[in-house]
Amino acid sequence: MAELLFELGTEELPARFVVPALDDLEKTFTEQCIALNIKHGAIRRFGTPRRLALLVADVAEKTDDVMKEVKGPSVKAAFDAAGAPTQPAIKFAESVKLPVDQLKKVSTPKGDYLMATVEEKGRRSFELLSDVLNLCTRKINFAKQMRWGDVEQSFGRPLQWIVALLGTEVVPVTYSDVKSGRVTRGHRFLSPAPITVEKPGDYEALLEKSNVIPDVAKRRALMIERIAAAAKKAGGTVLPDEALIDQVVNLVELPSPVVGTFEERHLDLPPEVLIQEMKSHQRYFSLTAADGKLLPKFIAVSNTPVKDEQLSIKGYERVLRARLTDGRFFFDEDRRMPLSAPERMEKLKRRSWIDKLGSMSEKTDRIRALGAFIAKAVGQTALIPTVERAATLCKADLNTGMVGEFPELQGVMGREYALHDKEPKEVALAIFEHYLPRGAGDGLPTQDAGAIIGLADRLDSLCGLFGIGKKPTGAKDDFALRRAAITFIRIVIARGYRFSLSAAIDESVSLLGAKLVDAKRKPTDPTVKDQLVEFFRGRLESTWKENHRADVVEAVLSAGFDDLACAQLRLEAISAYVSRPDFASLAATFKRVANIVEKQAKDITRDAVDPKKLTDEPEKALHAEVSKVSAAFTAAVQADDYAGAMAKVVPLKPFVDAFFDKVMVMAEDKALRENRVRLLMEIGGLFGTVADFSKIQAES
């Protein structure tokens, strides 16, 4: 057994390529080893901007010998009438190096055949690895491939060297203009001399001695530790930013943070602007004081611990100074003209949103109308003026210099500029909050106006794009509509908004009006509403199934979800019952009711139960009980107390069971039969508004 080291040395890879490339390398290597039967131990991965490497423990020297069965001629053809072997049998025996009498016979559907068990010798891993490692190299799927020099092959960036060592031996691997060897490189500037690797186990220590931390996790931990120490020394804390850490860790081989400062006067810029200026072009980390406010300081992570830190810090500061001057220029310029200025509104008209769906200005108009509709539907009539004003301004910042420079600041600048324009605070906040949540980890809107505009904006996008046939398919979701729908649901539920989803869709579609009509004045997609309702159902289903039983989810959805917040309450009520020990039998009883109702109801008029036609005791008792709980049940439902409503129907169970036990529902007499079914319909009608129990998996 020996260790294997495989390192691909490159010119600086894009930071975002490193980890996916290591995933690909490891995956291909593992797959190939399984396919070729090469046994090996644990795999370690190393990656920096200049290298991708695998270190594999305990690679078997050779693959195992295997016994293989080889089929020969048919028995019929193998022996003559006298039972002596024929020419084909003798030839076969020779080919497998066995005497004829040691050949076995095997029965197949096509008859009996001769068969031999032969031993296939294992092969040396060393020989197999050449091809395996070459394939590993080829199969790295970089987001972008490039060619270099005069070679046909491509890679993420030009390949400079390959180290391939099994034990102390170089495994021959060739890719483009590079041949494998045992020479690697250290830090580009601090340790420029070539480094000879004698054996794989030396690799990590050799590199660390040469100013490279090749293990991504180790480098990341070291970087975080050093950044924190630098921040502490500077009297602050680093503003957490995992994405920035992930990026910066693969921009350096030896993380060397330095602290710089900027002029305090820039602190009057919105903090989001400062943070964005520091991170998006410069990849600097921001620092905050104990009170959470930004400090006029930053941390840049160098790849080289330079001779005189101050000299290079001056450089970092100079770049940021130019950027902040630019940022201040935009901030001042933008504020010269209010968000609501006719010129800005005019620009929105010229800003296309989506070709067929018109300009941003048209979208804004629809958001305003749909926002007012939703506000009214959820009983926030008093909020309509705020919603309308904020909706009018909600996209106006798209045409400001700052958002042009930093698209990530949309909404943030809208809020800042609205405040500067002396718009009401709620309007400014709503402009910002209508984009929330902008990503994982971001909060939901905290106020109604922003929440409502956010709903209107997303529903308009959903209806518009579905209407012109751009709904997501498979993995393709160019407009992030799945996320839009999920966010829509989250906001509705979090804020407890009660309204009809289908009515809102109708309103949105009617506002889109002519946009969804083709040249022949036919709707481009007449089934928009059905598709969208189905789409929402799918989102609810997948979200709910993360935390709830699949059959319960189905039962609740089947009972309707047009009122999303109500559906959520029903789900929670039923889910709370699931854990009860008697749930299974309770569910079985109600399921039986639901099944009969489903089967019989279509032929029976929805009349009330006629008490005079109830003949047997159990059905009389059941009817009396149903009449008793019915009003209380309805009252609980109306009060959104679905747990309470369930508690009201649970006591019916023994009566229902007795009814099924003793009474023949499918009586010969039509009148009796129908009356009994109506009694069940009445019960079904009660819990059917909460959930469809026929969908519950329960023992019957």
Tell me phi and psi for residue 170, to 5 degrees: -80, 125
Q: At closest approach, how far in Å is the CB of 234 from another protein?
A: 17
By CB under 8 A, tell whether 312 contacts another protein: yes
DSSP bridge pairs for 523: 517
Determine if 139 is a binding residue for another protein (CB under 8 A): no
404 binds another protein (CB under 8 A): no
Q: Is residue 174 part of the contact set for another protein (CB under 8 A)? A: yes
Binding residue (CB under 8 A) for another protein from 29, 175, 488, 499: 175
Closest approach of Cβ 300 to another protein, in Å?
Answer: 6
Report the C-alpha gap between 18 and 73 in whole angstroms.
54
The distance of closest approach from Cβ of residue 296 to another protein in the complex, given in angstroms and rounded to an integer, is 17
Window of 70-78, 147-155, 363-371, 540-548 that interacts with another protein by CB under 8 A:
147-155
Is the dihedral angle over the CA atoms 430, 434, 435, 436 positive or is it negative?
A: positive
Answer yes or no: are the C-beta atoms of 236 and 295 closer than 8 Å. Answer: yes
We find the least distance from the C-beta atom of residue 231 to another protein, in angstroms, to be 18
Secondary structure (H, E, C), 494-533:
HHCCCCCHHHHHHHHHHHHHHHHECCCCCECCCCHHHHHH
Q: How many residues bind another protein (CB under 8 A)?
A: 56
User: x-or-dash pattern for another protein, window 268-307, by CB under 8 A?
Assistant: --------------x-x---------------x-xxx-xx
325 touching another protein, by CB under 8 A: yes
Taking a C-beta distance cutoff of 8 angstroms, is the pair 680, 614 a contact? no
Query: Taking a C-beta distance cutoff of 8 angstroms, is the pair 212, 254 a contact?
Result: yes
Cβ-Cβ contacts under 8 Å for 609 (sequence gap 6 or more): 623, 675, 678, 679, 682
Termini Cα distance of the chain: 59
Backbone angles phi, psi at 211, to 5 degrees: 65, 30
Residue 225 sits in the site that holds another protein (CB under 8 A): no
Give me the half-sphere count of Cα atoms (radius 13 Å) on the Cβ side of residue 293: 7
Per rule CB under 8 A, is residue 14 in the interface with another protein?
Answer: yes
CB-nearer residue toward another protein: 155 or 693: 155
Piece in contact with another protein (CB under 8 A), picked from 172-180, 422-430, 435-443, 600-608: 172-180
Strands (E) located in 83-170: 104-108, 111-120, 159-166, 169-170
Q: Which helix (H) or strand (E) holds 73?
A: strand 66-74
**1, 11, 572, 598: residue in contact with another protein (rule CB under 8 A):** 11
Query: Which residue of 15, 57, 183, 228 would you call a contact of another protein, by CB under 8 A?
Result: 15
- Strand 43-48 versus strand 237-238 pairing type: unpaired
Give residues with Cβ within 8 angstroms of 438, minimum separation 6: 411
Q: Within 227-256, which residues bind another protein (CB under 8 A)?
A: 251-252, 256
- Which CB sits closer to another protein, 122 or 158? 158
Which helix (H) or strand (E) segment is 66 a member of?
strand 66-74
Spatial distance between the Cα atoms of 58 and 431, rounded to a whole number of angstroms: 60
Does the footprint of another protein cover residue 126 (CB under 8 A)? no
176 lines the binding site for another protein (CB under 8 A): yes
The stretch among 184-192, 199-207, 412-420, 498-506 that binds another protein (CB under 8 A) is 184-192
**Quick check: 350 binds another protein (CB under 8 A)?**
yes
Q: How far is the CB of 477 from another protein (least distance, A)?
A: 25
**343: contact with another protein by CB under 8 A:** no
Q: Which stretch binds another protein (CB under 8 A): 53-61, 156-164, 522-530, 624-632?
A: 156-164
Q: Of 109, 149, 439, 441, which one interacts with another protein (CB under 8 A)?
A: 149
Q: How many residues in total does the chain contain?
A: 700
Dihedral sign of CA atoms 177, 181, 182, 183 in order? negative
> From the CB of 322, what's the least distance to another protein, in Å?
5
Indicate the residue among 230 and 451 with the shorter CB distance to another protein: 230
Radius of gyration (C-alpha) of the chain in whole angstroms: 36
User: In this structure, are residues 173 and 158 in contact, taking their beta carbons and an 8 Å threshold?
Assistant: no
Q: Which residues contact 95 (CB under 8 A, 6 or more apart)?
A: none
**326, 551, 616, 640: which one binds another protein (CB under 8 A):** 326
| β partners of residue 166 | 4, 169
Q: What is the dihedral of CA 611, 613, 616, 622, to 10 degrees?
A: -30
Q: Does 153 bind another protein (CB under 8 A)?
A: yes
Of 66, 322, 517, 664, the residue at the interface with another protein (CB under 8 A) is 322
- Asked if 360 is part of the footprint of another protein (rule: CB under 8 A), the reply reads no
Closer of 210 and 256 to another protein (Cβ): 256
Q: Which is nearer to another protein, 244 or 372 (by Cβ)? A: 244
Q: Can you tell me the distance from the alpha carbon of 72 to that of 70, in angstroms, rounded to the nearest whole number?
A: 7
Q: Does 315 bind another protein (CB under 8 A)?
A: yes
Q: How far is the CB of 635 from another protein (least distance, A)?
A: 59
Amino acid occupying residue 509:
V
Q: Give the C-alpha separation, 461 to 612, whole Å.
A: 57
Binding segment for another protein among 124-132, 139-147, 205-213, 444-452 (CB under 8 A)? 139-147
Residue 364 makes CB contacts below 8 A (sequence gap 6+) with 348, 391, 392, 394, 395
Stretch that binds another protein, among 40-48, 120-128, 155-163, 533-541 (CB under 8 A): 155-163
Provide φ and ψ at 58, rounded to 5°: 50, 55
- Could you say whether residue 148 binds another protein (CB under 8 A)? yes
- Residue 36, interface with another protein (CB under 8 A)? no
Stretch that binds another protein, among 145-153, 383-391, 429-437, 656-664 (CB under 8 A): 145-153
- The residue type at 678: R
Give min distance, CB of 307 to another protein, in A.
5
Q: Which among 581, 556, 579 has a CA at the least distance from the CA of 642? A: 556
Of 12, 421, 525, 625, which lies in the binding site for another protein, with binding defined by CB under 8 A? 12
Whether 393 contacts 449, CB under 8 Å: no
Can you tell me which of 23, 108, 119, 189 binds another protein, judged by CB under 8 A? 189
Facing residues of 117 across strands? 69
Least spacing, CB of residue 522 vs another protein, in Å: 26
Contacts of 148 (CB under 8 A, 6+ apart): 158
**Whose Cβ is closer to another protein: residue 318's or residue 628's?**
318
146 binds another protein (CB under 8 A): yes
| Separation between Cα atoms, residue 325 and residue 106, nearest integer Å | 86
Tell whether residue 320 is a contact of another protein (CB under 8 A). yes
Residues in 457-486 at the binding interface with another protein, rule: CB under 8 A: none
Residue type, 319: V
The residues binding another protein (CB under 8 A) are: 11-16, 49, 144, 146-153, 157-158, 160, 174-179, 188-190, 251-252, 256, 282, 284, 300, 302-304, 306-308, 311-316, 318-322, 325-326, 350-352
